[in-house]
A and B are shown apart, each in its own frame.
Chain A
Amino acid sequence: MSEAGRKDTPEQAEFRQHCRDWLAANHPGRPPVRLPQGALELSDPDALHWLQDWQKSAYDAGLIGCDYPAACGGGGQEGFQAIANQEMMQAKTPYLPNIIGMGMAAPTILFHAQDEVKAELLPRLLSGEDIWCQGFSEPGAGSDLANQQTFAERDGDNWVINGHKVWTSLAHFAEWMILLCRTSKDDKYNGLSYFVVPIKDNLNKGVTVRPLIKMTGETGFNEVIFDNVVVNDRYRLDEVGAGWKVAMTTLAHERGAGPMVTPASGGMALEEDESAQTSSVHALIDLARQQERNGKTAADDPLIRDDLMKMMIRQAAFGQNSRRMGVPALTDHPMRIPLQFKLVATELAQDLQQIAYEVEGAASSLYVNDDNSPANGRWTLAYMNSFGVTIAAGANEVQRNILGERVLGLPKSK
């Protein structure tokens, strides 16, 4: 973050100042309702609408979709989204709700949809007016994503879709879905195709959305049943049978390794200061100073201190790896660090949050619904939710296979 602004071109510096000025004058302030820790857990329509208003205002001011073509409702720039993201983080704005749309659907549509469809869908996606969800996983297709059973059958200019999607975050609010499905049973990988599908328009006209409940008691994700849902062929992305390739564009972006930078605003508006974050070791150190353990504060306990320092070192290493990634002379393989990103970030947060139980001691038993739970119960809640991301977006065991195979060149495990 200390590099922000250092390497700006004059145009970028001007844009950065614009972001700064606009944010200073238009920060949405504190939300009127309690927000979940992330957009994927959204279940309260009031919370969603408040966040949508925030995203729309930021979009209208040019902070969202800066790097997308103007014909698609974007800013037509290059390298501006990263600047807007930095400034939104600095200004501690709320997170943007259309996270699946911006992070996964938009790049996929940009690279694989027809121009008319891009122009039709992207403006309302970037503004947050249309919420997007992702129909990839199925009961029989998790880690083995290609084992798709949801089937789209050609019928003239249309396709008729039948099947069952699962873990579909935001489907209960979504206008649209990016859908991976099968169009031929002859070949596992080459029989897949990719569509964008209207969800809200088809609710109770073939599409059924049923909430699934996480171990935390929060909703936010669903199963989605397709019963003869009709979609026009214009909404097919890329060629019939190219679905796997298109899905790879989606997944690369989901894992932070795609060319497009996802608009992101950090979500630091939940509290005013950094110490509220459940991904900050310094926040955990502060908590440790307030908790007692074996007759002294937890921050004085040698074993807790050692664990906290281990986490601090891992966090520092993560930042330095991101830096070294940009120095070819100091990297051993161009994808060695980028492909680690998802794996390392999710485990770092999980391990940090696990230590909080020991820091909190008996009080770690208290849940978010108890006024006495330390730090409003956010650490233990975050620890449980951390499994959502060590499992999703390519389970970390799969990530290790990818790293072992693509970076180290070890034989494939299949």
Chain B
Amino acid sequence: MSEQPKNFGFGEDETMLRDSARKFFQDNCSADKIHAQVAHDPEINRPIECIWDRDLWQQIVELGWTAVCVPEAAGGIGMPLVAAVAIAEEAGKAAFPSPLISTYCATAVLTACGTDAANAALGDIAGGTATTLAITNQKGSWHSSDTDATIIDGKLSGSAWFVQDAKKCDRFVVSARGENGVGLYLVEASAANLDITPDGIIDLTRDQAHLTFNGVDCIELAAAGEGDRVIDAAMPTILTLISSDIVGSGEWLLQTTVEYAKTRVQFDRPLGFFQAVKHPLVNVMLDIDRAKSLTYNAACSIDAGEDSIELNARMAKSMASDMGVFAASRAVQFHGGIGFTWECYVHLFFKRIMHNHVLFGDAKYQRTLLADMVIGKAA
């Protein structure tokens, strides 16, 4: 039976934080500003860049946003996950380029480690150290025990792939296999024998890289054999955060497309007069509401320490992923020819959503795992 509060634990403090985040993004990250920043070069073979505003990041650190998820015992503010979810949603709504959500994901893993080393790293995050996860193999498996990195005599070899916001981060939380199983290790971005190779990606609002380790020093965060358990414990939080990002972007696309449908006139009518436009936009709205409610429910159940957190988080991610794809596709389609251009802002959000919808597992993947949980493994 659920012990969760009616309001998802979203009280006055959380509302204030969310409203201030919303205002911050409205004041500092308008779509035209982001477009000018990250979409300045349409050339397909343009050099791979990592574009972000370090001053804004500094402001965010000073506002305490990186400390929001860090437990008080580790030097953070220790707010409920619902608060971070609200900030992540606003970040998605602004398509904000930053290591914020990646750092929240790393925070989740570090919190689940429970070791002194991990707590020290959490304290640094509260102080503004941008940190991201390097726990995915080249094949893109989301399974916690799959890694292409190994650890021998305290040094890392091998590789890690699809590392989010790698060039913005000071540190990596790396999963690597040793004799006794998978462990987690903290690596400085500036470490010797570490190659950070940026990927050429579609999403303009983040950077991504793969890492190559050639005997890299690291600090143990979770002992060999513990790493996959820790990642599994943190995965509901990670999925919930990514879902929030998608919800925010989806709402931006909906409202923007609605505005366009009110003003663009063809056949003597605003576009939105036609039900072929109106009805799918309503369907997008319904899907956003589903995803948003499931995401808040997931965050709230994590805050309440319920047994159902993996179920709730995978439901949220499934809905958010499917919603995102739908919202993004209708946004482009209903902007007509304009929506198809580089100059229009829609593609910024389209690409961010398409990136996020696969990250840590697309909707079908979530449902495959959910079926195993709910129906039982297939014979």
Contacts and interface: CB of A to CB of B under 8 A. Distances in A.
Interface of A: 2-3, 7, 285, 288-289, 296-297, 299-302, 305-306, 308-310, 312-314, 316-318, 320-321, 323-324, 326-327, 329-330, 332, 336-337, 340, 343-344, 397, 400-401, 403-405, 407-413
B285 A411 contact: no
B318 A309 contact: yes
Interface stretch (B102-110, B129-137, B267-275): B267-275
B282 interface: yes
B338 interface: no
Given A300-B378, A410-B262, 17 more contacts: A289-B375, A297-B379, A300-B379, A313-B315, A317-B291, A321-B290, A330-B8, A336-B289, A337-B289, A340-B286, A340-B289, A344-B286, A400-B283, A401-B279, A408-B282, A410-B278, A411-B262
How extensive is the interface on chain B, given as a class? 35 or more
Given A313-B294, A320-B293, A410 B281 contact: yes
Interface of B: 1-2, 6-8, 10, 14-15, 18, 251, 254, 258, 261-262, 269-270, 272-275, 277-279, 281-283, 285-286, 289-294, 296-297, 312, 315, 318-319, 364, 367-368, 370-371, 374-376, 378-379
Nearest to A410: B272
Query: Can you list the 4 inter-chain pairs with the closest CB atoms, starting with the nearest?
Result: A410-B272, A320-B293, A317-B290, A305-B371
A405 B273 CA distance: 9
Contact of B281 (A2, A305, A404, A412): A404
Looking at A7, A296, A314, A326, the one whose CB has the most chain B CB atoms below 10 A away is A314
Contact of B371 (A308, A316, A344): A308
Contacts of A324: 8, 289, 292-293, 296
Contacts of B279: 397, 400-401, 404
A126 to B, nearest CB: 30
17 contacts: A296-B378, A299-B378, A302-B368, A309-B367, A313-B290, A313-B315, A316-B297, A316-B312, A317-B315, A329-B7, A344-B286, A400-B275, A401-B275, A403-B285, A408-B282, A411-B272, A412-B273
Contact of A404 (B272, B290, B296, B364): B272
Contact of B285 (A296, A312, A408): A408
B1 to A, nearest CB: 5
A172 B223 CA distance: 75
A399 to B, nearest CB: 8
B294 A317 contact: yes
Contacts of B270: 410-411
B371 A320 contact: no
B367 A305 contact: yes
A403 B282 contact: yes
B293 A321 contact: yes
A348 B16 CA distance: 35
A317 B319 contact: yes
A296 B293 CA distance: 35
Contact of A408 (B281, B296, B379): B281
Nearest to A337: B289
A329 B371 contact: no
Contacts of A336: 285, 289
A329 B11 CA distance: 9
A89 to B, nearest CB: 16
B2 to A, nearest CB: 5
Contacts of A310: 318, 367
Given A403-B282, A408-B282, A410-B278, A326 B6 contact: yes
B290 A314 contact: yes
Contacts of B278: 400-401, 404-405, 408, 410, 413
A303 to B, nearest CB: 10
A407 B374 CA distance: 35
Nearest to A281: B374
B364 A306 contact: yes
A346 to B, nearest CB: 13
A404 B289 CA distance: 14
A309 B370 contact: yes
Contacts of A2: 1-2
Contacts of B274: 413
A403 B258 CA distance: 12
B79 to A, nearest CB: 15
Contacts of A289: 375
A296 to B, nearest CB: 6
B275 A413 contact: yes
Contacts of B374: 285, 309, 312
A407 B15 CA distance: 23
Contacts of B251: 332
Nearest to B290: A317
Nearest to B323: A317
Given A309-B318, A337-B289, A327 B10 contact: yes
Contacts of A407: 285
A412 B269 CA distance: 10
Looking at A310, A337, A397, the one whose CB has the most chain B CB atoms below 10 A away is A310
Nearest to B291: A317
A306 B367 contact: yes
Nearest to A396: B279
A300 B291 CA distance: 27
A320 B2 contact: no
A312 B286 contact: no
B10 A400 contact: no
A323 B6 contact: yes
A312 B371 CA distance: 10
A74 to B, nearest CB: 27
A285 B372 CA distance: 12
B318 to A, nearest CB: 6
Looking at A308, A310, A317, A327, the one whose CB has the most chain B CB atoms below 10 A away is A317
